[in-house]
Structure 1
């Protein structure tokens, strides 16, 4: 009886340590169908200018599609997750053609997405990495 009780307590302790706010990789259940707001673009905080909006990303669990609003335009494409790993890739993203003061940042953002190869989620932040840089190229925060 004491061995069963000890095993039960160990299992509860392990499960209790897993929370949505500090999820280890991979965490597709929190990744998908969540609106993510861009907070860093190549290590820099995006600077919004007149006519620009916050950039966001949503990955659909049903369609395998990525969509959002970049600084000036709506955009969308496809994504692929490798089951049981942290691998995440994006197709080229199509977008509408409005212009704004953040056009260069938007262009760079849309160029970076197809180069993404993996992700991590920590403390409600999504980090997207390419194959060549050790630091994340894009960082997002979960929208409330």
Structure 2
């Protein structure tokens, strides 16, 4: 078989495989439609917890759930799946406002570094920042 024919066959095969994955839903991204969807998704992994308030990002890519006792639940879209975590201010390396409605979070956990989260209103941003900002928490007393 000649090299040009082989190249055409390989390129065609790869193109067909990529197209098949795309058209069968393999490239679809998930989205949190509303607060109820975020609650339902969080409950799958943490059925015993009952969040008080849900703060959904503007694009539906993440939700922060107030769990009380200094804990915050997180549901974040990653491709067509969801990452769910429970975090505390001790897990946060840096929390800062980028704009009035945009929060930047960097976590200490190397498996999930955080990101930039845009909210629809400034009150939601302030509530999430207040619950996760390590600077707003009381300093720990060191044992002497």
Q: Please classify the TM superposition score into its range, dividing by the shorter chain length.
A: 0.3 to 0.5
Task: Select the structure with the greater relative contact order (CA < 8 A; seq sep ≥ 6).
Answer: 1
TM-score w.r.t. length of structure 1: 0.33
Q: Which has the larger helix fraction?
A: 2
